[in-house]
Amino acid sequence: MNTYVNTSTVLMVKFPATKAGLSTVGYQLKDSTGANVGSRVTAGVVNNGVGYFSSAITFATAQTGSILWDTGEGSPLYASEEFNVVAVPLAASGYTAPPTASDIATAVWGSATRSLTTFGSLVADIATAVWGATVRTLSAFGFTVAATVADKTGYSLAITPPTAAQIDTQLTSTHGTGSWTADVAGSGSILTKIIVSVNNILLDNVAIYATTDIYGNNVVAGTLYTDTFGEVSFMLDPGVYYIWKHLSGYNFTNPETITVTA
- Chain-wide mean pLDDT for the chain? 79
Strands (E), the chain: 2-4, 8-14, 26-31, 36-41, 46-49, 52-58, 64-70, 78-85, 190-195, 197-198, 201-202, 207-211, 219-225, 231-236, 239-246, 256-260
Please report the pLDDT score of residue 182 as a whole number: 47
Question: What is the pLDDT confidence band of residue 156, given thresholds at 50, 70 and 90?
Answer: low
Question: What is the pLDDT confidence band of residue 104, given thresholds at 50, 70 and 90?
Answer: confident
pLDDT digits (tens, 9 = 90+) for 22-59: 999 999 988 888 898 889 999 989 998 888 999 888 77
Please report the pLDDT score of residue 210 as a whole number: 94
Q: Does position 172 have pLDDT exceeding 80, yes or no?
A: no
pLDDT digits (tens, 9 = 90+) for 69-82: 999 999 999 988 88
Please report the pLDDT score of residue 95 as a whole number: 53
Instruction: Rank 1-5, 7-11, 69-73, 150-154 by mean pLDDT and report only the highest.
Output: 69-73
Q: For residue 78, what are the contacts with CB-CB under 8 A and spacing of at least 6? A: 68, 69, 70
CA–CA dist 222, 242 (Å, integer): 12
Please report the pLDDT score of residue 85 as a whole number: 76
* Cβ-count burial 185-200 (b if 16+ within 10 Å, e if not): bbebeeebebebeeee
Question: What is the pLDDT confidence band of residue 153, given thresholds at 50, 70 and 90?
Answer: low
Q: Comparing 170-184, 201-215, 237-251, which segment has the lowest mean pLDDT?
A: 170-184
Q: Does position 96 have pLDDT exceeding 90, yes or no?
A: no
Please report the pLDDT score of residue 237 as a whole number: 93
Q: For residue 155, what are the contacts with CB-CB under 8 A and spacing of at least 6? A: none
Is the overall model pTM greater than 0.85, yes or no? no
pLDDT digits (tens, 9 = 90+) for 182-216: 457 888 889 999 999 998 899 999 999 999 999 98
Helices (H), 53-159: 101-110, 122-131
Domains defined along the chain, listed by start: 2-85 (2.60.40.10), 99-141 (no CATH), 190-260 (2.60.40.10)
Helices (H), 10-114: 101-110
